[in-house]
Amino acid sequence: MRFTQYFLYTRNRPDRFPIKLEWIESVIKNPCEIKRQRDGRFKKWGFIQEEGKYLRVILLEDEETVHNAFFDRGFKEVDDEN
């Protein structure tokens, strides 16, 4: 994984520090949802069982460089059956 300077800086915040790199990697490889932003970046979400929360990972256009990662309190997974 590669990281932007912004990610490395914000990773030291108290609300971001507990986010494990293996969780970020898991979301990148196995997201439950993906959306492309207007600026070309990608948003990927995944559920982190240990925390009981969804993690949102923002990737640059290359889909490899992590720009941001945080627990997304407002995310609701779409139920494809309904």
Would you list the DSSP string of 5-74?
HHHHHHTTSTTTTT--HHHHHHHHHS-SEEEE-TTS-EEEEEEETTTTEEEEEEE-TTSSEEEEEEE-TT
Domain coverage including residue 14:
2-71
Assigned domain for 79 exists: no
Assigned domain for 77 exists: no
Assigned domain for 66 exists: yes
**C-alpha dihedral (53, 68, 17, 11), degrees to nearest 10:** 180
Assigned domain for 82 exists: no
Instruction: Indicate whether 82 pLDDT > 60.
Output: no
Total domains in the chain come to 1
Tell me what the mean pLDDT of segment 43-62 comes to.
Answer: 97
Assigned domain for 80 exists: no
Q: pTM of the prediction? A: 0.90
Assigned domain for 81 exists: no
